[in-house]
């Protein structure tokens, strides 16, 4: 189907004043099934017809907006069509195009093949170049216009869209991909950026200068995204680590620790997780398991897993580490981050009726995972935090299940159970036998 026929259909819809949904229905009748609207360049055809006059055609623009909302056209084709409009002197048209970008630029996505995803990256980079050219145009116009207020408003609109797109790390990453795919297009973008940067000092408003400088800085940071260190890395979650730990604690308590060690090492290497953050995620998963485990045998099982099996698994992981001396420092760093999660630790302490972190520190120290000075330093910090934590009433304390200290007293027995790989049924029977024996001890404490 030729593009000219598509334009004729759009003109017919405009002449007969079809509503947007009526237009969509008729368009599907006019054109055969199996032909995508992106192949027909529907977005570009609609924009060409809408932007013929000095002001945009509102009816045809409504067709384009309907096509975007109903996903008749992809975001990449719309951005590509917008970036081809270069008559920046038509302020009303520019304003309408910016409003169209507002519809989806804060939530860009792509469904399809890899080529279509790359197409979105290219389209986003081209639209960024278009916004830079538009901003540079209005910056130059401010030098000679008599109506400074209108000129500043137009420039502000462009800079706001630039800031909105560049504030998203995901969008900057997409632009980085496009830069690697099309170096020549990136060179063109850098030229537009340079033109805007040279004009910033001439802007009359401090707010506009600040907005423009921030946009320029964000664009210049795109090429070094992969090498730049993120200060927020410790706030990043690694759900795969949680899944591995939770699965092991739930399904394979009595199994040999070596498979778990190999799984953790594989996850760490494949996801390139820094060791201290990896260890932090392991401890977080264990503590969440302690808090969420049902009372009775499940609670005792998680206690043994957290305070015995995991430290032993980490001791084996240390042997796989190329720099064993650094492992202890990473363990110390992981506990430093863990201590910042005060609400989580307080909840675990209330559930287990003990200082969980202190017991974990002692086990790690016993296995050579943590030095004595670091143990004392971390324990002191946690003690200070615990002094400010809410306390349970004595009546509530009496009903709490045995704390991990009791499991650690029976460490040789529990460790032998773990080493021998006793079946789950036997372990559950042992837990049931141990539970009533331990309860009186906990109540005497």
Cα separation, 94 vs 78, in Å, equals 14
Reported as a single tens digit per residue, the pLDDT across 313-335 is 999 999 887 665 688 989 999 99
Q: Report H helices in 167-205.
A: 169-181, 183-199
Q: Is the pLDDT of residue 361 over 70?
A: yes
Q: Residues 404-409: what's their mean pLDDT? A: 64
Euclidean distance between CA atoms 252 and 75, whole angstroms: 47
Q: How far is the C-alpha of 227 from the C-alpha of 131, rounded, in Å?
A: 27
pLDDT greater than 90 at residue 409: no
Residue 80's pLDDT is what? Answer: 92
Confidence of residue 35 (pLDDT cuts 50, 70, 90): low
pLDDT of residue 1: 39
Contact present, 95 and 150 (Cβ < 8 Å)? no
pLDDT band for position 188 (cuts 50, 70, 90): very high
Average pLDDT value for residue range 367-395: 80
User: Could you tell me the pLDDT band of residue 419, with boundaries at 50, 70 and 90?
Assistant: low
Task: Provide long-range contacts, Cβ within 8 A and 24+ apart, for 202-206.
Answer: 202/139, 202/142, 202/143, 203/139, 203/142, 203/155, 204/142, 204/148, 204/152, 205/152
Place of tokens 């302690």: 290
pTM score of the predicted model: 0.53
CA dihedral in degrees (363, 366, 372, 378; nearest 10)? Answer: -10
């Amino acid at each position: 189907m030729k593009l000219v026929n598509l334009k004729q259909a759009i003109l017919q819809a405009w002449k007969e004043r079809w509503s947007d949904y009526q237009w969509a229905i008729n368009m599907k009748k006019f054109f055969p099934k199996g032909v995508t609207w992106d192949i027909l360049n529907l977005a570009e055809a609609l924009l060409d017809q809408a932007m013929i006059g000095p002001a945009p055609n509102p009816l045809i623009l409504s067709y384009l907006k309907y096509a975007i909302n109903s996903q008749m056209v992809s975001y990449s084709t719309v951005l590509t069509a917008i970036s081809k409009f270069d008559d920046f002197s038509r302020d009303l048209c520019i304003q309408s195009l910016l409003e169209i970008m507002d519809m989806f630029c804060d939530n860009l996505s792509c469904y399809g093949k890899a080529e279509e995803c790359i197409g979105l990256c290219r389209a986003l980079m081209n639209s960024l170049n278009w916004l830079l050219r538009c901003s540079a145009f209005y910056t130059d116009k401010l030098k000679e216009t008599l109506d400074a207020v209108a000129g500043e408003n137009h420039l502000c609109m462009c800079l706001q869209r630039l800031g909105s797109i560049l504030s998203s790390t995901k969008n900057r990453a997409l632009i980085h991909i496009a830069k690697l795919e099309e170096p020549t297009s990136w060179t063109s973008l850098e030229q537009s950026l340079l033109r805007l940067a040279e004009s910033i000092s001439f802007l009359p408003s401090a707010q506009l200068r600040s907005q423009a400088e921030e946009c320029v800085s964000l664009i210049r940071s795109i090429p070094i995204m992969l090498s730049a260190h993120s200060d927020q890395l410790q706030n990043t979650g690694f759900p795969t680590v949680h899944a591995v730990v939770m699965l092991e604690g739930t399904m394979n308590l009595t199994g040999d620790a070596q498979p778990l060690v190999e799984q953790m090492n594989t996850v760490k290497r494949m996801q390139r997780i820094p060791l201290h953050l990896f260890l932090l995620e392991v401890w977080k998963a264990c503590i969440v398991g302690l808090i969420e485990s049902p009372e009775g045998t499940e609670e005792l099982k998680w206690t043994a897993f957290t305070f015995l099996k995991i430290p032993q698994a980490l001791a084996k992981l240390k042997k796989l580490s190329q720099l064993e001396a650094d492992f202890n420092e990473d363990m110390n760093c992981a506990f430093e981050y863990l201590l910042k999660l005060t609400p989580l630790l307080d909840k675990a302490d209330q559930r287990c009726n003990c200082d969980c972190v202190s017991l974990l520190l002692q086990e790690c120290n016993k296995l050579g995972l943590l030095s004595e000075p670091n143990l004392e330093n971390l324990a002191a910090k946690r003690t200070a935090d615990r002094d400010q934590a809410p306390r349970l009433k004595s009546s509530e304390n009496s009903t709490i299940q045995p704390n991990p200290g009791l499991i650690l007293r029976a460490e040789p027995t529990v460790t032998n159970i773990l080493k021998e790989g006793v079946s789950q049924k036997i372990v559950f029977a042992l837990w049931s036998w141990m539970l009533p024996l331990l309860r009186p001890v906990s109540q005497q404490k």
